[in-house]
Amino acid sequence: MGDGPTGTAKSMGYLIPAALSKKPAVVSTASKALQHQLVLKDLPTLKEACEAAGMEPPTFGLLKGRGEFLCDRRMDEFLEEEAGKLAGASPELVQIDLWRRSSDTGDKETLRITPPKYWSEIAADSDDCVRRKCDYGH
């Protein structure tokens, strides 16, 4: 699928058969824009259509990679390592620290500023995750 113009319901070409099969399906997207379109528009529309037709509506969720989430441990380590260099010079770092204290998920998408160039240093990373040994309890 894919060369038609935006907004022509191409995604329904795979969502409808997946819903009718009543089997679990995974839809992987190439862009966050399509991800949002599916979760915020297309899948709710499909759900409403199934309900209107008296069919069991599909359930769905959005899965994101670890790199989309802040790691509190890595953030604290970054703050310790960079404190001398960034103290007073990075209002962005202060904003991120304030955001993480109020965030329930640490999802980068809820960060109201453009993720900084050092996001990879503070994001969750499967190679650097201590999992069950984590003192942060995530």
Written in H, E and C, the secondary structure of the chain is: CCCCCCCCCCCHHHHHHHHHHCCCCCCCCCCHHHHHHHHHHHHHHHHHHHHHCCCCCCCCCCCCCHHHEECHHHHHHHHHHHHHHHCCCCHHHHHHHHHHHHCCCCEHHHCCCCCCCCHHHHECCCCCCCHHHCCCCC
pLDDT (tens place) for every residue of the chain, 138 residues total: 556 666 657 899 999 999 999 999 999 988 888 999 999 999 999 999 999 999 999 999 999 888 999 999 889 888 888 766 655 557 888 889 899 999 999 999 999 888 888 898 899 887 777 767 777 765
Give me the residue spans of the domains in the chain. Answer: 1-63, 66-133
Predicted local confidence at residue 129, as pLDDT: 77
Predicted local confidence at residue 5, as pLDDT: 65
Predicted local confidence at residue 56, as pLDDT: 93
Whole-prediction pTM: 0.74
